[in-house]
Structure 1
Amino acid sequence: MTGRAEARVPFGAHAVPYAPGTLRPSCDDDPAAADRRVLDLYELWKAYFLRSGDEAGGRGRCAVFTPDAAHPFVAEAQGYGMVITALMAGADPDAHALFDGILRHVLAHPSVNHPDLHAAQQDADGRDVGGRDSATDGDLDIAYGLLLAARQWGGGHNSHDGHSDYDYEALAMRRIDAVMECEVHPTTRLTKLGDWSSGRYDEVSRTSDWMPDHFRAFRAATGDPRWDEVLDAHLSLAGELRARHAPATGLLPDFVVDTTSGEPRPAPGQVLESPHDGDYHWNACRVPWRLGADAVTSGDARTRAAVRGLSRWARAATGGDPGRIRSGYRLDGTAYGDPGSPAFFAPFAVAALTGDDGERERAAAQGWLDALWARMCASPPDPARAYEAGVRLQSMLVVSHNYWVP
């Protein structure tokens, strides 16, 4: 595959400034050194997890392979791939073609419930499995990736069969509208689990789907004021959950239940995935990255306060050693998981970007960021763990100041 259009916001240009006071890793001698670290990880991510051609369902297609998921191709990973390749344009001459290849896979697998949403799972033969319905996090990132592509490349370029152009903006608008119609609760304005959510699942929300920067981008792109309501609903609930259930840590649970009752709370046990659905587990581990990305790009005091609290707690709980971050915590900070997973330590580096107030506190935050960055760069990804690699790479894109909101 070869790219055809030059990037308007090339990787490494640091063309979109972050909020005032945002830190940078100081352990690399200049921003270009940090960029090289990201590019090295990106090349490994491509080699380990991108499939193309027959391995991805046909000529001209590309898809992110997930050996650690329930099925080889899942919506979450395709959303990651579209965001990553759009942000890496300018450094990777193939980024545009790779983006279009993943988009081609997504468009070939619509949800059974709505043609502008993505069927969440495909098997090794490219067949939709697991209900053929959607997962909200995948659609949020796919829509966001399309907005990035529209800014990056304009209207798209000729597909490999020579028959069509992709109008990224039009595709983004359709998907954003479909997300609002099918994956946002009409009363609470909280994200639902997917376009299939009904009955008792209609009042369950997954905190890793709470992506404030995406909601802001959707509002700007569509002019739809309901996205302001979505943003405020999520940030308000995040604050309430921290105050009521995790005042000492700021941790959020994987899943929140009773969202329509007026008294939302952490899942009391297994609601969807595991007995740890009410803990800071393998979904919520992304919260410091998701909220932190918004804090550094928007400067919103609500997300900045949330991630600063998380960062202070993590630094204190580990004594400033990222190697002690565990893969699972009760909301009171009691650890139960093993240490060492990038899915848990990398997002804390995004939170650490927000620094702290006061000279001594800011110096401590800088040291914590540097330690996290060094650990993020210390070892290659595990080829068997696409989820960890995707979270780490996207966290590194934010930490290196190569992330931006379209």
Structure 2
Amino acid sequence: MNKQSKRKPGWKSFIILCLALFILPAGSALAAVNKPFPQHTTYTSGTIKPNNVTQISMDNSVKTKWGEWKAAYLKPAGTGKYYVKYNSDGETVSEAHGYGMLFTVLMAGYDTNAQTYFNGLYNYYTAHPSSINPYLMSWKQNSSFQNIEGEDSATDGDMDIAFALLLADRQWGSAGTINYLQAANNIIGAIMDNEINQTQWTIRLGDWANSGSYNTATRPSDFMLDHLKAFKAATGDARWTSVADKTYTIINSLYTGFSAGTGLLPDFVVYSGGVYKPAAAGFLEDANDGNYNYNSCRTPWRITTDYLISGDNRALAQLTQLNSWIKTKVNSTPGNIKDGYKLNGTTFGSYNSGAFYAPFGVSAMVSSSNQSWLNSLWSHTAGSAAEGYYEDSIKLFSMIVMSGNWWTY
């Protein structure tokens, strides 16, 4: 037998091994990654990104922050499951879970374990259903992974989980061990059935909020317009357009009626006398329920993202006023941003929280007039030390968007 023929069996074995790797089911850890990080999405014409650093530098800063976030907060929860540790007691909430699912699908391609994490997070979600609708997630668990403080849902967590499942379908396909698209349709349908007021077309606080003043109340940090549009695209359900339209109407009603000088939105909104208005103190959480506090600090990121991706400019006036106000308020110095403002611009916070300053970097992207301000916010965020789960999550999301790496279904 000559040398060439001796090599043939090894060569064939190599080809068979390669084929086996490529035809592994999409649910496996080796599924093809269709939209690997970094994505460098082309945002709406006229919008900007930081230009005081290179694209590679921005991508690397996101990778660094992701590594730190993953090490601190993404934890195993038994066989085949992962959860997001949201406080020192080892508890978690569905909001954190949605964040974890979004991060893992967005960082796939760079993080080779992303699909394993994602599937583990999905398995944890399905193991903790709301008692009202099993496709929604029970909102809080203790360190033993037991549901606590009521087995009902929080809308923001469910919306992020649903959106992450749609992205997973785009990222890995739905032919593997988990049918991501079917799972997304299940939770999207449940959100419509139990977390949307189908008389007002408003986003409820959770599946429990279906009576009294809670039935018509809403929370601006849940105004995830790109999610709503993705739900419509995935399901063909025109009711999601009604929700998006009403959401934009409420943004502008609050802006013109209560914060024309600042563009700030309150933590919670109630419907009274035919008008959507800031909630009174103590409505749900604390004395600042009607102020710009630890819920609505996310709105510059959440609302702006839809403009960057779709060009829908219905909130552009509010965002423009917001940028103008905050730049003046803090003398264009991100370190001066505090964690709490009344809608008229009065400061009541005292801490320079990443949950507050980082989202302003996203809203700054709407206009080239904010370029130096955006650059300062990027540098302040990218160079920031770890704070806690909430702040670090919002900083990472804001950096993903600012670096041009956000994408939608």
Same fold (TM over 0.5): yes
Provide the C-alpha distance between the structure 2 equivalents of 1:68 and 1:290, rounded to a whole number of angstroms.
27
Matched, 1:167 2:179: yes
SS of the residue corresponding to residue 330 of structure 1 reads coil
Q: 1:156 Cα deviation (Å)? A: 5.6
Matched, 1:151 2:144: no
SS of the residue corresponding to residue 258 of structure 1 reads strand
Q: Is the 8 A contact 1:207 1:287 kept in 2?
A: yes
Provide the C-alpha distance between the structure 1 equivalents of 2:309 and 2:315, rounded to a whole number of angstroms.
10
**Pairing of 1:184-223 with structure 2 (within 5 A):** 184-197=196-209, 198-223=211-236
**Pairing of 1:3-402 with structure 2 (within 5 A):** 3-14=29-40, 16-28=41-53, 30-52=54-76, 56=77, 58-67=78-87, 72-155=91-174, 157=176, 165-197=177-209, 198-258=211-271, 261-356=273-368, 362=369, 365-382=370-387, 385-402=388-405
Q: Is the 8 A contact 1:286 1:391 kept in 2?
A: yes
Please give the per-residue CA displacement for 1:216-264, whole angstroms capped at 9, x wherever unaligned. 10011111111110001010111011001000001000000126x5212
The verdict on how the C-alpha distance between 1:196 and 1:236 changes in structure 2, with shifts beyond 3 A counting, is same
Provide the C-alpha distance between the structure 1 equivalents of 2:105 and 2:373, rounded to a whole number of angstroms.
29
Provide the C-alpha distance between the structure 2 equivalents of 1:305 and 1:97, rounded to a whole number of angstroms.
42
Matched, 1:404 2:407: yes
Unpaired runs of at least 5, structure 1? 158-164, 357-361
Q: Is the 8 A contact 2:251 2:315 kept in 1?
A: no
Residue 107 of structure 1 aligns to which amino acid in structure 2?
T
Percent identity, please.
41
Q: Is the 8 A contact 2:229 2:241 kept in 1?
A: yes
Unpaired runs of at least 5, structure 2? 1-27
Residue 315 of structure 1 aligns to which amino acid in structure 2?
K
Provide the C-alpha distance between the structure 1 equivalents of 2:32 and 2:365, rounded to a whole number of angstroms.
30
Residue 338 of structure 1 aligns to which amino acid in structure 2?
S
Provide the C-alpha distance between the structure 2 equivalents of 1:156 and 1:59, rounded to a whole number of angstroms.
23
Structure label with greater radius of gyration: 2
- The RMSD of aligned alpha carbons is 1.3
Provide the C-alpha distance between the structure 2 equivalents of 1:192 and 1:47, rounded to a whole number of angstroms.
33
Provide the C-alpha distance between the structure 2 equivalents of 1:288 and 1:317, rounded to a whole number of angstroms.
16
SS of the residue corresponding to residue 353 of structure 1 reads helix
Please give the per-residue CA displacement for 1:280-328, whole angstroms capped at 9, x wherever unaligned. 0000000000011111111111133332221111111111000111100
Provide the C-alpha distance between the structure 2 equivalents of 1:405 and 1:314, rounded to a whole number of angstroms.
28
TM-score by length of 1: 0.92
Provide the C-alpha distance between the structure 2 equivalents of 1:87 and 1:156, rounded to a whole number of angstroms.
19
Q: 1:68 Cα deviation (Å)? A: 6.3
Task: Give the 4+ runs in structure 1 shifted more than 6 A.
Answer: none
Please give the per-residue CA displacement for 1:6-39, whole angstroms capped at 9, x wherever unaligned. 321111131x3211112111121x2111000000
Q: Is the 8 A contact 2:200 2:216 kept in 1?
A: no
TM-score by length of 2: 0.91
Name the count of aligned residue pairs.
381
